[in-house]
Amino acid sequence: MRGCDERVAVTMTGSNLHPRKIKSDEDWVHLTYDVIHDDAIDKLMIRYRDQEPKEAAIVETGKGRIWYRFSDTPVNADPEVTRIYKDGTAVTGWY
């Protein structure tokens, strides 16, 4: 794995968040997020079912790099990911 001794490049957690005031199921906030373990990863493209791929936001923290992406629909399955490395290489999959 590039620039990383970890076996996993990126991990993923999904959640359908319940805002304070909700009138219908359409008001839920759908989100996936987690940690980037491989420092050589520059970008993540996340594709939810029936949606176009979009770039995930990456936040640099004192404890590592965190990524997140909102979905327009409920998160009921793992999204597809494309890892884009600093050298321009694109690799699909979480591992």
Looking at residue 5, its pLDDT comes to 42
Closest CA relative to residue 63, chosen from 34, 31, 90 = 34
Looking at residue 67, its pLDDT comes to 94
| pTM of the shown model | 0.80
Looking at residue 10, its pLDDT comes to 83
Tell me which residues of the chain have a pLDDT lower than 70.
1-8, 24-26
Looking at residue 20, its pLDDT comes to 73
Radius of gyration of the chain (CA): 14
Looking at residue 7, its pLDDT comes to 56
